[in-house]
Chain A
């Protein structure tokens, strides 16, 4: 493995790939710092540019966006009090008050260094646990993989804004979308005698359509509500007090480590992501602090907990994606799409078949983290300005890039119509309160699930085998438990809400 990593490091250290990582990090930071743009959108916009690249270059660019994107949210969070991404909500709790107290440079500097260490610790988690889990999952047969996919989908559906039923419905719709077109036996399904449906839908335009349109239209709707709110222009004269922030971080070693480990662990769990990591770490930091009363008033502990954890999600989220071929959240689902597009199937075999690519992912994360902290510290005032780009300009630009990206996939105009069609479907589902992450995950995992079910049935045509094999049965039981727990939690929340309304 060490040899592969060295080879990968050499491959990633070429000027061409380094430039791509730099571009990715810069774009990620910009994307993360614009409120409402999100890391996922930044990844989707960059995705089409990787089509013509070799796998290592494409993955390096995307990882740059990941690393930059998760750290970019701090800029608008500290300067404007508006989190650039949902995963930096708790950064605002202490970052904004610290900036208001006249120390914006200190708040930003602490957050940036915490993001850097969070990424580094999560890479260590990935390097240690990734191959270990992949080794364990080598023994998984089609029954176990089916159970694992079902478990991942139910978990994500259950964690979708308290809408368990709609989450499951979304996951099933996502799985169904992948059944359109030729199946593994070359039989046509749901083509309605239309030639362009015979090869089914490409994952990319479906994902972009469902996610990007919904997000952008949602941003436009928000604009109406915010028209009367004045947005304060950021102070571009911010200076980072380097000595001070190094001292601050030095006093936060335990907090940084704890928050990074929480971020890595949460990132590895399906359906959670940076936002959950953010809140858990912040809460834990407050519980362990000797000054819990200072939280929310501009204490460095809060910024460190928040930023270390949300960046640690990056490395953690790669663990199930690479080791099991199961992405835990939306950005990872897209990352898996990138790998599939480049002919690489993530999963346990990836560590054996593509060790250099796996090494390139580690190396890109490492280099991305270093580049991220350098650029964040040097160019913070420019990022603060860029975070002011209005949605009225951003939305048409992103829509145009989505259209071009979908077309560029196969030089096929039908893919733009797929993008458009699924954009409308996604928006309508979102308006009906349907969470879209399970749908996108269903689309990404749909082909694999069907293939595993059929392989299992070809080996043993009894459905009971799914429940008689211990590990497979465990995954199905866990899936059932996740549904029941989510239903109980939803009921509790509903009861609380009705009690509040009545009382």
Chain B
């Protein structure tokens, strides 16, 4: 099966869909008052129209300048599983950060940040040797309290 999608087409279609949703949402913006030359929706709608126009140009251009698919270009991410395998570390790191943001208000800065630092360093550095564990824990237990102290006591910024 030939994959007809490429980066430009994904980008153009996703942008057009989002622009469509935002244009519908712009219907909720109050209309112009008697003293305004234009309403509050005019400027963002103008921007959305330009974004849609450029996305359409990108989409059309992607068909006009399309190169024939080579086995090499289609082989890398033949399936969704292949894509996930290639980007597994990136996805995992984004996931860990999302989890960190979620846990921060529940567990507080010290615990949630310690968990994030240990897990993300473990993910990137590995945890197969004693040395790696020492580096991981050393950095975590030095930096996490240090940043807390600087913000809390030096800058008077309260962390959760």
Contacts and interface: CB of A to CB of B under 8 A. Distances in A.
A397 interface: yes
B135 interface: yes
Interface stretch (A36-44, A126-134, A452-460): A452-460
A185 B104 contact: no
Interface in A390-409: 390-393, 395-397, 399-401, 403-404, 407-408
Nearest to B32: A185
Contacts of B120: 395-396, 399
Contact of A172 (B26, B54, B117, B151): B54
Nearest to B101: A416
- Assign chain B's interface to a size class: 35 or more
B26 A404 contact: no
Dominant secondary structure of chain A at its interface with chain B: helix
Given A52-B157, A165-B61, A169-B51, A423 B121 contact: no
A189 to B, nearest CB: 5
Contacts of B43: 179, 450, 453-454
A220 interface: yes
A404 B159 contact: yes
Given A404-B151, A416-B101, A424 B94 contact: yes
Interface string A28-61: 0000000000000000000001011100000000
A420 B101 contact: yes
A51 B158 CA distance: 12
5 contacts: A52-B155, A165-B57, A187-B40, A396-B121, A432-B7
Interface of B: 7-8, 10-11, 15, 22, 25-26, 28-30, 33, 36-38, 40-41, 43-44, 47-48, 50-51, 54-55, 57-58, 61, 89-90, 93-94, 97-98, 100-101, 104-105, 109, 113, 116-117, 120-121, 124-125, 135, 139, 143-144, 147, 150-151, 155-160
Given A213-B94, A392-B124, 19 more contacts: A49-B155, A51-B157, A169-B54, A172-B51, A183-B40, A187-B30, A188-B29, A190-B26, A217-B93, A221-B90, A399-B116, A400-B113, A401-B147, A404-B109, A408-B159, A416-B101, A424-B94, A433-B8, A457-B37
Interface of A: 49, 51-53, 165-166, 168-169, 172-173, 175-176, 179, 183, 185, 187-190, 192, 213, 217, 220-221, 223, 390-393, 395-397, 399-401, 403-404, 407-408, 411, 413, 416-417, 420, 423-424, 427, 429, 431-434, 450, 453-454, 457-458, 461
